[in-house]
Amino acid sequence: MSRNQEASGSPNLVVGIGASAGGLEAFTAFFAHLPADSGMAFVLVQHLSPDHESWLTEILGRASPIPVVEAEHDMRLEPNRVHVIPPDATLTVEDGRLLVVRPAPPRSSRRPIDSLFISLAHDQEENAVSIVLSGIGNDGSAGLAAVKDAGGLTIAQAEFDHQAMVGMPQSAAATGHVDYVLPVEQMPARLIEYRDHLALVADRKDSDGTRTDAAEHLATVLTVLRTKTGHDFSNYKIKTVTRRIQRRMQVIQSGSVPDYITRLREDPAEPELLFRDLLIGVTEFFRDPAAFQSLAVAVEAIIERPEGPSLRVWAPACSTGEEVYSLAITLRELIDARGANLDVQIFGTDIDDRAIEFARAGRYQRVVGISPERLKRWFFEDEGVFCPIR
């Protein structure tokens, strides 16, 4: 816990936990192994029927070593307390307080776990933890990326031998954004270790949370990473790279940068894990509306020119493809509106091979940034995911 947290009485970690309707057993097992004085705040989101009263608060209250309360709008997050989503609501976090919005969105667009995790990432940064427990579907998978990008910790439930359970945990693990796949009984102990490590290194960070001892070793870390993976990150933003290295050190609880360099050299898995952390892509459709408006003006000028019946567009660092599909939609709408005859080729590239595979498949659990009109015109739904019409 930081000095500011101690002074304010704020929780040292805010742990968001998501499960579907069958997650009661996992919730109960988790809190049965939690000490009463962890100093953490817990926010539970379960897929609930909007038409039925939930007994989750009462049932967990009998098994938990800490108080369990139903979340209320503007309720302050308290350490050593479990805050449970009420029925027919969306539960998020802002400025250390709970936001309860009713009614919940229609079932087809309801993703309460993603909503919670994304809000936790923005509000708590490295003090955020997201845990995906048993359930059907893929809710929570998108929110994990936001928590990881913000420097927080991500966990999914294991079925056995540290293999993710089918359903939501398996979907979460498949994103590559899960730090640990653990049996639910082991999760509280891992959280305690993570909490203690953050407290241990708190005085080595500057006012914005970046480690002050990393700069002198940064060149060595990047040299080892280039040797091991073949990828050079020396021209990336120094602060961004430093925070990604710092996050990996926190996940594995490495106390010093030299210790981490040794781990990077000797553990064959760690260079790849750091490489993936450096490539976290948080993107969405039409992410920068002003840029797409400027693009539209430029394309209109090209369309009006009589010469040149073809147009080639390159989207570097395309991540999981949202930008490429946004470009395609923009160009197609402009061409159709003017009845133009223009041959268009769009190339999307990225050094993250997993992101390229995802972009090529074009199956999106969330389509943030797309208007309902564009969603209806340019996408079709297949087994709960949205696919661009090609």
Q: Find, among 193, 61, 191, the residue nearest to 130 by Cα.
A: 191
SS3 category, 74 = coil
Residue 297 phi/psi, 5-degree rounding, is -65, -45
Q: Would you say the C-alpha torsion 331, 333, 338, 339 has a positive or negative sign?
A: positive
Which residue intervals of 88-232 are DSSP H helices?
112-124, 141-149, 168-174, 187-201, 218-229
Would residue 139 show up in a list of annotated catalytic residues for this protein?
yes
> Which residue of the set 10, 20, 38, 319 is catalytic?
20
Query: At 28, which helix (H) or strand (E)?
Result: helix 24-32
> Which residue of the set 114, 123, 139, 352 is catalytic?
139
* Alpha-carbon span 226 to 375, nearest angstrom: 41
Facing residues of 244 across strands?
none
* Alpha-carbon span 146 to 150, nearest angstrom: 6
Q: Find, among 153, 178, 191, 173, the residue nearest to 33 by Cα.
A: 191
Answer whether 122's CB lies under 8 Å from 150's CB.
yes
> Which residue of the set 10, 38, 47, 123 is catalytic?
47
Kind of pairing between the strands at 68-70 and 97-101: unpaired
Which residues are marked as active site?
20, 47, 139
